[in-house]
Chains A and B, each alone.
Chain A
Amino acid sequence: MEYERTFAISASGMTLERTRVEMAALNLANANTVAGPDGNVYQPRRVVATRAFADAVTQGLSAPSMSLEVTQQAPRMVYEPGHPMANAKGFVAYASVDAATEMVSLMSAMRSYEANLAAMTTSRNLALKALEIGGNQ
């Protein structure tokens, strides 16, 4: 394993975590959207990184393989009789975004991002320290 690969590993970890933050932000932004005239409601998205991600990372590929999965959840029905999109019973179909879940994934993504950054800084410092072997001549 080349010494430069540690940088690629940390960078792909950072890409994954940033995508998780983006998706959490997207889900939160769509939390209060209602179903359109066609009855389709926004479905929250999840970032899925499988074993292939680990394989790609150890091979030093800079583009990690991850997929965006659209969850299939029943819409959140809220009783709002006066709402223009309310059905016959007075219920409005909201996107089933759980704000607490999204906030937790936002925080864990941020912590993981920091951890990746720390790993990269450490490997950078290690490489620079290794260059000091033998001192200045």
Chain B
Amino acid sequence: MNGIEWIVPLVMTVITASTPLLFAALGELVTEKSGVLNLGVEGMMLVGAVSAFAVASSTGSGTLGIMAGAAGGALMALVFGFLTLTLLANQVATGLALTIFGVGFSALIGASFVGFAIEPLPPLNLPGLSDIPIVGPLLFGQDFLVYLSFAAVIGVAWFLKHSHSGMVLRAVGESHDSAHAIGYNVIGIRYLATMFGGAMSGLGGAYLSLSYTPMWAEGMTSGRGWIALALVVFATWRPGRLMLGAYMFGGITILQLNAQGLGMDVPSQLMSMLPYLATIVVLVLISRDQTRIRLNAPASMGQPFRPAH
């Protein structure tokens, strides 16, 4: 067993760094599949993170915290939905507004929680199974949200590909006029997809403030919401590829954190640039193949819909 056990803590940290990205990007994927482009992921994650932390530290319950995180993100998405779907406001501008608002609002709520500490979410720890060397802690030693994120990938993939509702959602995203003509409630479906996206971003934020770094700090998402948006493009709107991308970015984050430990003498700020630079590189690589993007991107994305009658 000697020599290979170092891999356990490494993989564990990659998982924790990837999970918030996975939640947020998966939610945005569903939102975009319905034809809505919500650029407010960063703001929704922050509100999710602060709601989760505030509730968890006041009640002592991680479960309530997780629920509060999802609810906070979903409420933010509801504001976005009202502006863009009901009032037909520009989606790009509204998404930016949602992020600007979320940064300020979360800082305001969080101001009285700075410096608080909470117990991180407990790992699953199945007696016996979790004690198996290497496989045990990796498979059975994660916290609830990590398993939820795996389940969500499978659930979303199945929903989009095999369920009737998923087909309707994709139809709405491809051509809202045709979907409306067939009799589907375009606005209603987009509201649901947008709020699902918000709830998932909220969960991503909750994972940050309850598990990854169990505390609240202003702007603690540090751009993860934007990276999640890039991941959706990278994945060309497919859940499986999305998971791959999220874990790749989690790996880069950990590489950056462990660089000094590995004997690399690079200033920390330069190492911290890695995830952002990697995002740009990945976007360039994927964008060079415009046909693939055009084939997979929901055709109505970002366009407002107003029923003719």
User: Do A and B actually bind?
Assistant: no
A residues in contact (CB < 8 Å) with B = none
